[in-house]
Amino acid sequence: MKHVNCGTYREMSRQAAGCVAELLREKPEALLCFAAGTTPMGLFEELIQMQARAEVDMTRAWFAGLDEWVGLGPADAGSCIQVMFDSFYTPAGIPRDHIHVFDGMAADMTRECRVMEKWIADHGGIELTVLGIGMNGHIGFNEPGVPETRGCVVVDLDEVTKAISVKYFGKQIPVHQGVSIGMDLLSSAPEVILLADGVKKAPIVAATLSGPVTCRVPSSLLQKHPRAVLLTDADAAGLLPNLD
Ligand code: PGA
């Protein structure tokens, strides 16, 4: 995995947007997978502005939703589906039938997983994924300790994830499980972009890049990926042994 210290959050978001745009110029109908969360918001804004300037066309691309809180749906503020539609899919004008997301309220989560796996396969596999890194190193809801399972996974949420969930919902709500595209499917994407900013992410960035490769830190599993790039601001790069 390569690391690029972009200096600022804005520049990190710009560089990520540049990578997405470059891919879509070559492959306008590629299948992409973007994380929700706070970190990619600057990327979404950049991409939407670039599209308004006709520098990228995202409307022919396909989008697989990375994850969802089990039990939450579009009416729940802070659910991944609500965040992604409001912050990205709708303002970017992505046709509804180009988007497939987990239904966190479905009665049968195993079925949700199989349907997502088939949808991804039917659309040629994920070409590029943009991921955040949780404070505990989770990727989507691939929580610490979750093995590199095949396909999509339903997992019990880590205590760190449950505690941090308050920032998305504005209050503590009972969340126990998540459904996520699994590490093997994410790792099979030819291009993987990880984003992390802020001093609070510095320890997990260091563990991701220079710690042991272990499922206890799921983001470290991407060290093995030949084309993964971790874009950070200067603060998140602060604990790396060799600053670039
Ligand atoms: P964040 O979340 O972007 O809100 O920091 C990252 C994650 O938990 O995957």
Give the pLDDT mean for 33-50: 98
Give the position of tokens 């939407």: 48
Task: Work out the pLDDT band at 146, boundaries 50, 70, 90.
Answer: confident
The reported pLDDT for the residue numbered 149 is 76
Among 202, 221, 199, residue whose Cα is nearest residue 212: 221
Q: Which residue has the higher pLDDT, 69 or 243?
A: 69
pLDDT at 243 over 60: no
Q: Which of 3, 5, 127, 136 is catalytic?
A: 136
The yes-or-no answer on residue 76 being catalytic is no
* Centroid of ligand 1 to alpha carbon of 132 (angstroms): 5
Among the residue ranges 111-115, 135-139, 224-228, 238-242, the one predicted with the least confidence is 238-242
The yes-or-no answer on residue 197 being catalytic is no
How does pLDDT run across 161-217, given as a tens digit for each residue? 999 999 999 998 999 999 999 999 999 999 999 999 999 999 999 999 999 999 999
* Centroid of ligand 1 to alpha carbon of 134 (angstroms): 5
| Angstrom distance (rounded) from CA 220 to CA 65 | 22
For residue 183, give Cα distances in angstroms to 67, 221, 225. Answer: 12, 8, 11
pLDDT at 244 over 70: no
Residue nearest to atom 2 of ligand 1 (CA): 37
Which pair of structure tokens corresponds to residue 56?
């990228």
Task: Work out the pLDDT band at 147, boundaries 50, 70, 90.
Answer: confident
The yes-or-no answer on residue 184 being catalytic is no
Residues 78, 168: contact at Cβ < 8 Å?
A: yes
* Centroid of ligand 1 to alpha carbon of 28 (angstroms): 27
188-208 as b/e, with b when 16 or more CB fall inside 10 Å? ebebbbbbbbeeebbebbbbb
Give the pLDDT mean for 6-32: 98
Q: What is the DSSP string of the chain?
A: -EEEE-SSHHHHHHHHHHHHHHHHHH-TT-EEEE--SSTTHHHHHHHHHHHHTTS---TTSEEE--EEETT--TTSTT-HHHHHIIIIITTTT--GGGEE---TT-S-HHHHHHHHHHHHHHTTS-SEEEEE--TT--BTTB-TT----SSEEEEEPPHHHHHHTHHHHSS-----EEEEE-HHHHHTSSEEEEEE-SGGGHHHHHHHHHS---TTSGGGGGGG-TTEEEEE-TTTTTT-SS--
Residue nearest to atom 8 of ligand 1 (CA): 134
The yes-or-no answer on residue 67 being catalytic is yes
Q: Cβ of 62: how many Cβ atoms within 10 Å? A: 22
pLDDT at 53 over 60: yes
* Centroid of ligand 1 to alpha carbon of 180 (angstroms): 14
| Angstrom distance (rounded) from CA 150 to CA 170 | 33
